[in-house]
């Protein structure tokens, strides 16, 4: 990455996360970034799981190991965690390359709707309606 591109990326992350200017890393983006903290809290609340803190990418993928839930629910939550990483990366790219702002509510809303469509089209155990999906309790 050219020096000017690196400076632009650092400044964008600073503006996007309202954190301290730091070297942009996936570790920062997915763990300590203020925006991401809000996303993880919202995801935990929606999925009816205890709030969690992650300190590395590996921690994100291991969240389901500490859940007391059925295997099907763990599989769904795992998919939500992976989709969350993708959606945050997309938000970061939108800001860096197109100067498009987003917020926690928009990110979480997109995660809910995209994962619902994926779950509904791939589920072998029947479908769940949108209201049930948004409540997540019936899963």
Predicted confidence at residue 6, as pLDDT, reads 44
Exposed / middle / buried, residue 124 (Cβ in 10 Å: 0-12, 13-18, 19+): exposed
Predicted confidence at residue 128, as pLDDT, reads 82
Predicted confidence at residue 87, as pLDDT, reads 95
Collapsed DSSP state (helix, strand, coil) of residue 2: coil
Whether residue 130 contacts residue 116, with contact meaning beta carbons closer than 8 Å, is answered with yes
69/47 Cα distance (integer angstroms): 11
In this prediction the pTM is 0.79
Number of domains within the chain: 1
Per-position pLDDT tens, the chain of length 139:
444 444 444 444 445 555 445 567 788 788 878 888 999 999 999 999 999 988 888 999 899 999 989 998 899 999 999 999 999 999 988 988 898 888 999 999 999 999 999 888 887 766 788 888 888 865 6
13/124 Cα distance (integer angstroms): 40
Question: Which residues constitute the domain of residue 57?
Answer: 3-135
Predicted confidence at residue 2, as pLDDT, reads 44
């Amino acid at each position: 990455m050219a020096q000017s591109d690196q400076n632009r990326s650092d400044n964008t992350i600073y503006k996007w996360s309202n954190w301290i200017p730091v070297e942009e890393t996936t570790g920062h983006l997915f763990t300590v970034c203020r925006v991401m903290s809000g996303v993880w809290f919202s995801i935990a609340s929606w999925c009816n799981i205890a709030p969690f803190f992650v300190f590395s990418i590996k921690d994100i993928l291991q969240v389901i190991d500490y859940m007391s839930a059925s295997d099907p629910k763990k599989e769904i939550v795992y998919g939500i965690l992976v989709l969350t990483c993708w959606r945050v990366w997309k938000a970061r790219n939108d800001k860096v390359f197109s100067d498009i702002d987003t917020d926690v509510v928009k990110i979480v809303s997109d995660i809910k709707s995209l994962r619902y469509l994926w779950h509904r089209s791939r589920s072998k155990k029947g479908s769940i309606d949108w209201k049930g999906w948004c409540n997540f309790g019936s899963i």
